[in-house]
Structure 1
Amino acid sequence: MTTTHPTALIAEDEPLLAQALAMDLLGTWPELRLLAPAHDGDEALERALTQQPDVLFLDIRMPGRSGLEVAQTIVEDWPTAAVLPLIVFVTAYDQYAVQAFEASAVDYVLKPVQPARLATTCQRLRHLLSQRGGGVGEDALLQQLRQLLTQPAPASERLSVIQVSSGNAIHLVPVDEVIYFEAADKYIRVITAEREWLIRTALRDLLAQLDPALFWQVHRGTVVRASQIAQAVRDESGRLILSLRQRPEKLAVSRLYTGRFKGM
């Protein structure tokens, strides 16, 4: 990556909007080198990981993965030795924008994009790119993405039991007995000390019903009960690996969530 002629990828499913943003960017930031735009979340993810641009402009609502889901997966799958890209979310919905995007490494612009706001964003990006040696700004990026991806439900709506089917029977599994949840295709594995169950739901929907003080997301597909974590150890490749108190499995912690364990 270079800050002299930085590269940027626009992910926008409406071609006219993508073209307009590209023209505005080139007028505001002439030295920026724009890659061919991505037209949905899956293409944005593939292109970002392959081409490794310095800056990503991600539409929040796209076919396939949302902009937030793309950002989460990029951070988790980005090469460990490489500096993370800067991320700008593009949204027509200002409820995403007020306080959530104020960290220095994550920004937003509202549709229709206003030249003055885009100029401010570009100025911020230039400043951050000039300071990126040693991963400057990455902690702020990871912290903000964690906040954006974690929106807990009110206590009154939190789960106390989980209904699971087994043959012709429906079992009620107390949430207090769950050690961790793991996404598996279209299902979630519900793991207790004695056995595991399968439920058909999206992990993001389940997360919204769990107490974030009790259950920690440690990977885009794994949520673990914090009190069941015995220790966190880095392996030879630098990955953080969790040992559990009542299960033999080892759980990997993704780059996005390693900040949880700085005190361990």
Structure 2
Amino acid sequence: MTTFPSAPTALIAEDEPLLAAHLRRELGRLWPELQVVAQVGDGESALRQALTLRPQVCFLDIRMPGLSGLEAAEALAEDWPDDVAAFPLLVFVTAYDQYAVQAFERQAVDYLLKPVAAPRLADCVLRLKTRLALGAPSAQASPAAAAAAAPASGAEELARAVEQLRALAASLALPGSATPSAPPRRLEVIQAQVGHTVHLVPIDEVIYFEAADKYVRVVTAEREHLIRTAMRELLPQLDAQRFWQVHRGTVVQVRWIERAVRDEAGRISLSLRGRPQALSVSRLYAHLFKGM
């Protein structure tokens, strides 16, 4: 008989209290040994608590205030330490959306539909128990292959999670079955206001953008500006061929990158032309820097 790790831990991130309570109650019935170490209602809190408590499983609502469930998972993968416990198993919770469900299934990511049905949750719990017992092998493996797989190291599991999250993000970014809206206009000029003065900064002059609390820093060769625009609102207005996102809070204009250097731990930093500072590349975007 298979034995599972004692006292497994979980985090629940759900902004609807009744649904969170229902999920927690059903988990207590189906998986009584599971310890829910945190229950939060927004993506930032989910990220912060997961990094602090390092649960083995995270149930993440896709739509939450602040960071979405997917954004919280991507940020968690970026910030997860290399030398600690294995990356958590992720279960996304979503209202019924056939397009989103197809994206989850295509990337072999576990998900639950709202309201969470007991039989579906029971299946999910069984898969989670099996993966925890096996050292969390790849979620893309079939049940038979998973049963035969060797335990994965924390680094290997994190690498697989990063690949999976990147693929899922790309899948969910594709236009759905509904009539697509017109693409946003490309920015040609950044309008940065300082007091009563508005500085017009041509987009060609921008070296990189960096998120800073509720603002985004606009860095040029001559000076820096702050604009009150969220990075998620700015990104769709930039030419993705010219501006590469290298971290959830950093977007750099490619022509300003001189070289990418990978250290012994596999971390990548970017040297910019004529600039003293280096920019860090997160795990999610390391694939952009491969030799031709």
**1:97 is aligned to 2:100:** yes
Change in CA separation of 1:214 and 1:114 when aligned onto 2, cut-off 3 Å: farther
CA spacing shift, 1:12–1:166, aligned 2, 3 Å: closer
> Aligned equivalents of 2:195 and 2:25: distance in 1?
58
Alignment correspondent of 1:35: 37
1:146 matched to 2:166? The reply is: yes
SS of the equivalent of 2:204 reads helix
1:24-75 Cα distance to aligned partner (Å, 9 max, x none): 3344445544334234434323321122111100122334543233223322
2:162 counterpart SS class = helix
2:98 paired with 1:86: no
**CA shift digits 1:201-229 (9 cap, x unpaired):** 10111012122232222122111122322
Verify: 1:232 aligned to 2:251, yes or no: no
Q: Percent of aligned pairs with the same residue? A: 59
Alignment-derived partner of residue 187 in structure 2 = 159
In the superposition, the TM-score normalised over structure 1's length comes to 0.83
**1:133 alignment partner, one of 152, 156, 170:** 152
How many correspondences in the alignment? 263
Taking structure 1 as reference, are residues 208 and 99 closer, same or farther at Cα in structure 2, changes over 3 Å only?
farther
Question: Which residue identity lines up with residue 223 of structure 2 in the other structure?
Answer: R
- 3-state DSSP class of the match of 1:100? helix
Task: Tell me the residue number matched to 1:56.
Answer: 58
Aligned ranges 1:176-215 → 2 under 5 Å: 176-215=204-243
Q: Does 202-211 or 95-104 show the bigger shift? A: 95-104
In 1, distance between residues paired with 2:263 and 2:182?
37
Distance 2:58 2:45 in 1: 13
1:216 maps to which residue? 244
Displacement of 1:164: 1.9
Post-superposition Cα deviations, 1:125-148, rounded to whole Å, max 9, x if no partner, equal 345432252244433422343355
Residues 162 and 172 in structure 1, CA contact (< 8 A), matched pair in contact too: yes
- The farther-off stretch of 243-252 and 149-158 is 149-158
**Cα-to-partner distance string for 1:172-226 (whole Å, 9 max, x where unaligned):** 3222322210112222111223332221110111012122232222122111122
SS of equivalent to 1:44: helix
**What does 1:106-121 correspond to in 2, within 5 Å?**
106-121=109-124
Task: Kindly report the root-mean-square deviation, in angstroms, between the aligned alpha carbons of the 2 structures.
Answer: 3.1
Is residue 72 of structure 1 aligned with residue 100 of structure 2?
no
Alpha-carbon distance between aligned partners in 2 of 1:39 and 1:16, rounded to the nearest angstrom? 11
Output the CA distance in 1 between the equivalents of 2:17 and 2:107.
29
CA apart distance, 1:112: 0.7
Structure 2 runs not aligned, ≥5 long: 138-150, 175-180
Question: Which stretch of the first structure deviates more once superposed, 45-54 or 67-76?
Answer: 67-76
What's the TM-score once normalised by structure 2's chain length? 0.76
Give how far 1:257 is off. Answer: 2.4
